[in-house]
Structure 1
Amino acid sequence: MDASPEAPEAPGAAEPGTDALLGAADIRELAEALGVRPTKQRGQNFVIDANTVRRIVRGADVRADDSVVEIGPGLGSLTLGLLETAEHVTAIEIDDQLAAGLPATVEARLPHRARHFTLVHADALRVTPEDLGERRPTALVANLPYNVAVPVLLHMLATFPSIERTLVMVQSEVADRLAAAPGSKVYGVPSVKAAWYCEVKRAGAIGRNVFWPAPNVDSGLVSLVRRAEPLRTEASREEVFAVVDAAFAQRRKTLRAALAGWAGSAALAEEALTAAGISPKARGEALTVEQFAAIAAHKPRA
């Protein structure tokens, strides 16, 4: 975990009796005070609507005993909403300026909850359980940067098996892919890999006008609930994911052809498919995660 830069004082502390959540004017004031200019490179679009924050917290089913991890908290819009409900919130932020400002914002807006907040100044794609210390998150709630949404989500689900419930806001197109069912035109690698860990579904749409700056695309909410029991398979996650990657690398081809490199030859791929009870003429877009696991379990051994 990187050492956090020295935090400046946060402007605009909430007046007694007023809403602690951030509005459009608060967001712009904070950004100006911190010298923050949102960048497309890091997918920075800050939520400026308190009602959207409340909707996300409700949709995530955040509970009073939850330890929530948030990725890319930005200026703190969602962080504050989560802190109002959860037992503890750990925010993972890679940006130096944003990481510097967030603790002061929490202290200024929700001083009585500040001790329930932890900042981890790190890259979410590389964060480890050691970065979070003894705390194990039970929920993941985040407005994920569009450019790294899927890899970050899959990394967190793999790294923190304690995460039971997840609600993420992503680009609408990505939301569709994550929640797609077999047979759908947008069903692919993200759909299958997310289904390995969780039951996945779309949880709503988010308009562009609740962000600053407004993105050029619509957003969607995706709910992921950890499987009560891990998928039963003789193959490891890595072995199953290797089949998934191979199948969708050439998604227009039959599995017999698409898996030839993975198996060693088209004939060996057909042998594995037949043993798994799957037609060699099928395509990856038609298979469930359980069927991919069955193929992986029947890979011919050298």
Structure 2
Amino acid sequence: MTNDPGTAPASRPLGPAEVRAMAGAIGVSPTKTLGQNFVHDPNTVRRIAAVAGADGDVVVEVGPGLGSLTLALLPTVQHLYAVEIDPRLAAALPGTVADRAPDLADRLTVLTADALRIDAGDLGPYPPTALVANLPYNVAVPVLLHLLAVLPTLRHGLVMVQQEVADRLTAGPGSRTYGVPSAKLAWYAAARPAGSVPRAVFWPVPNVDSGLVAFTRREPPSPGVGRTAVFEVVDAAFAQRRKTLRAALGRWAGSPAEAERVLRAAGVDPGARGESLTIEEFGRIAAARHAG
């Protein structure tokens, strides 16, 4: 593998002036289309790296941008796969690391790729164990769920997302913010809020607040059916979240009457709403329909 993370020298961080100068040098202007907001505060990336607790991990970083968080992570990780969709940023990142952390350059592998389309075979010889990323706001939830699905060796992670999304990802049953992202993430992992990030540390400054979400992988429920079947129930239940499950699952089950039969077989109140159910209960509903 790579050299011992415990003895690695520190890297030189990027500040606001360096971030703007580097972007100008490679002709990058942050775009909303790619959800690009670059962190330029060294204290913030050091805090994220510390909260992530990825010492000795093989880390996947999505959207490394100009490399602020990458440089904060490299001193303690075993290896880092940086997945960057913008080819200009991907091409520039190895040079940035060689300049600002030359002794750590062998820990970095850069992939010019869409994180929504990668799988474990794209990364390389080291199975990833942690995800640490400032996720692009416009695809944060799909990217997180995709990576948890295709990278089963991920044990834990810390992602920065829009605060509203962070609230949804960490909400529990019964909360007004509990929904599809909450339930689907719960299939893979236990999640919790891990702090907030002020707008001023980004360039350009976003119009929304940001939050950190920490998660730890756990075994999914074992209802006797697979993830796809369970997620179909979740999607159906929240497509009409104001309706009772008997009504909301009517199309999924074939009719409201059949939905009620399945719900009762699963031990779930047909008059309840999706926002009150745990992922285990969604699993029981999927299994009850499968059992006939």
Query: Does structure 1 residue 196 correspond to structure 2 residue 181?
Result: no
Match of 1:74 among 62, 65, 72: 65
Query: Does structure 1 residue 91 correspond to structure 2 residue 82?
Result: yes
Q: State the Cα deviation string for residues 206-229 of structure 1 (Å, max 9, x = none).
A: 1000001110000000001001x3
Equivalent position of 2:270 in the other structure: 280
3-state secondary structure, aligned to 1:62: coil
Runs of at least 5 residues in structure 1 that lack an aligned partner in the other structure: 1-16
Query: Does structure 1 residue 49 correspond to structure 2 residue 45?
Result: no
Query: Does structure 1 residue 61 correspond to structure 2 residue 53?
Result: yes
1:130 deviates by 1.4
1:301 deviates by 5.9
Q: State the Cα deviation string for residues 105-131 of structure 1 (Å, max 9, x = none).
A: 011111100011000110000001111
Equivalent position of 1:171 in the other structure: 162
In structure 1, distance between residues paired with 2:10 and 2:285:
57
1:232 deviates by 2.1
1:62 deviates by 1.2
Match of 2:289 among 280, 296, 299: 299
Match of 2:249 among 251, 254, 259: 259
Match of 2:109 among 118, 135, 157: 118
Equivalent position of 2:3 in the other structure: none
Q: State the Cα deviation string for residues 182-206 of structure 1 (Å, max 9, x = none).
A: 0111100000000000001110011
Q: State the Cα deviation string for residues 252-288 of structure 1 (Å, max 9, x = none).
A: 1100011111111111111110011111000000000
Query: Does structure 1 residue 35 correspond to structure 2 residue 41?
Result: no
In structure 2, distance between residues paired with 1:56 and 1:25:
21
In structure 1, distance between residues paired with 2:11 and 2:107:
19
Report the residue type matching 1:250 in the other structure. Answer: Q
Report the residue type matching 2:210 in the other structure. Answer: S
1:19 deviates by 5.7
In structure 1, distance between residues paired with 2:220 and 2:142:
20
8 Å CA contact 1:272, 1:300 repeated in 2: no
Q: State the Cα deviation string for residues 75-100 of structure 1 (Å, max 9, x = none).
A: 00001111011011100001011111
Q: Which moved more, 1:168-177 or 1:259-268?
A: 259-268
In structure 1, distance between residues paired with 2:81 and 2:35:
20
In structure 1, distance between residues paired with 2:61 and 2:26:
21
Match of 2:172 among 177, 181, 199: 181
Match of 1:232 among 222, 229, 237: 222
Report the residue type matching 1:203 in the other structure. Answer: A
In structure 2, distance between residues paired with 1:134 and 1:285:
41
In structure 1, distance between residues paired with 2:203 and 2:245:
44
1:135 deviates by 1.9
In structure 1, distance between residues paired with 2:220 and 2:254:
29
In structure 2, distance between residues paired with 1:133 and 1:18:
25
In structure 1, distance between residues paired with 2:20 and 2:10:
18
1:168 deviates by 0.2
1:300 deviates by 5.4
Report the residue type matching 1:244 in the other structure. Answer: V
Query: Does structure 1 residue 100 correspond to structure 2 residue 66?
Result: no
Equivalent position of 1:151 in the other structure: 142
In structure 1, distance between residues paired with 2:201 and 2:288:
49
In structure 2, distance between residues paired with 1:104 and 1:19:
13
TM-score (normalised: structure 2): 0.95
Runs of at least 5 residues in structure 2 that lack an aligned partner in the other structure: 1-8
Report the residue type matching 1:59 in the other structure. Answer: V
In structure 2, distance between residues paired with 1:155 and 1:300:
25
RMSD, matched Cα: 1.3
Equivalent position of 2:6 in the other structure: none
TM-score (normalised: structure 1): 0.92
Length, aligned pairs only? 284
